Amino acid sequence: MLMLHVPTLLALLGTALMAVVIFAPAPAVVPRSAASELFSPLPFEAFAAAGIVPLPELPPPSSVVWPALVDPSAAQCDAGVRLALIDALAAVRTPWADAILRQALGEEPDARVRAAIEATRSA
């Protein structure tokens, strides 16, 4: 007896849900604000009171690019790290390492590092 009523109950439930979907009021549409209304600029006085602080000057870009050929993270290394890289490249002694040492000799500004490169070439 209960089996006969289940399809009927499901049909009534489906009809009720469709009635809610069809006849329910539409959601209220909220007008969107313009971007200029969302972000209001600060008054000029806020900037004038704080004063304009000049940005610090950046150091000139380094002309030494050969360490980046070994490892991109070594692009801005100091002379001590470049000396260690030269020792490592001299120990490897492959055509790749020799090409980097030749480029390093041409662009290295530090006299100690240049001397270390020349010492590896004569060895």
Domain boundaries, the chain: 66-122
Q: What is the pTM of this model?
A: 0.49
**Beta-sheet strands, E only, within 1-123:** none
Residue 82 makes CB contacts below 8 A (sequence gap 6+) with: 64, 67, 104, 108, 110, 113
Cα dihedral sign, 71-72-73-79: positive
Answer for the pair 76, 58: CB distance below 8 angstroms, yes or no: no
- pLDDT per residue of the chain (123 residues) written in tens, 0 to 9: 555 688 888 888 889 888 888 888 877 777 776 655 555 555 655 555 555 555 555 545 567 889 989 888 888 888 899 999 999 999 998 999 999 999 999 889 899 999 999 998 776
Backbone angles phi, psi at 119, to 5 degrees: -65, -35
The answer for 108, left when phi > 0, alpha when psi is -120 to 50, beta otherwise, is: beta
**Beta-sheet strands, E only, within 21-81:** none
